Amino acid sequence: MSYSKKVIDHYNNPRNMGSLDKGDKEVGTGVVGAPECGDVMKLQLKISGGVIEDARFKTFGCGSAIASSSLATEWVKGKTIDEAFQIKNTEIVNELSLPPVKIHCSVLAEDAIKAAISDYKKKNDIG
């Protein structure tokens, strides 16, 4: 199995890698993991007026997991919470041409977005 060009590109030049202040009320943090391979992913969103202004990720895992989360941060920026919530892992699979054995990496990225949004909502008492 070899990685697609896009995966390699995200792996070599990860977008938005890093952290945001976890204590900030405008920052939602999602930490998710894949039980089978042990990959863990942290995705943070800075949300202002219902719009995602900034996003950061940090992933310990394989190239596909890193690429999936890197791509996720690119995609969510500028989207509303509701729009970001609609992002499906299959879109990530298509964009990165992930092989079947790596689909769980894209699921992880989708879960991370959702986890970060729910953390933000919980912090700000939004139902």
Residues with catalytic function: 37, 105
CB of 94 to other proteins, least distance (A): 27
Which one of 6-14, 35-43, 45-53, 97-105 is the stretch in contact with other proteins (CB under 8 A)? 35-43
**Residues from 2 through 31 that contact other proteins (CB under 8 A):** 31
Interface with other proteins (CB under 8 A), residue from 27, 32, 55, 105: 32
* Count of residues interacting with other proteins (CB under 8 A): 12
**Two structure tokens written together for 1:** 């199995």
* 126 φ, ψ (degrees, to nearest 5): -100, 130
One of 8, 9, 17, 40 touching other proteins (CB under 8 A): 40
Q: Which of 125, 127, 126, 124 is nearest to 24 (CA)?
A: 124
Q: Does 60 help bind other proteins (rule: CB under 8 A)?
A: yes
Nearer to other proteins, 39 or 95 (CB): 39
What's the CA gap between 126 and 27, in Å, rounded? 14
Site for other proteins in 105-124 (CB under 8 A): none
Q: Which is nearer to other proteins, 8 or 37 (CB)?
A: 37
H runs (alpha helix) in 17-102: 63-76, 81-85, 89-96
Q: Which residue has the tokens 């690429």?
A: 67
**29 within 8 A of 22, measured Cβ to Cβ:** yes
The amino acid sitting at 9 is: D
Which residues sit at the interface with other proteins, rule CB under 8 A? 31-36, 38, 40-42, 58, 60
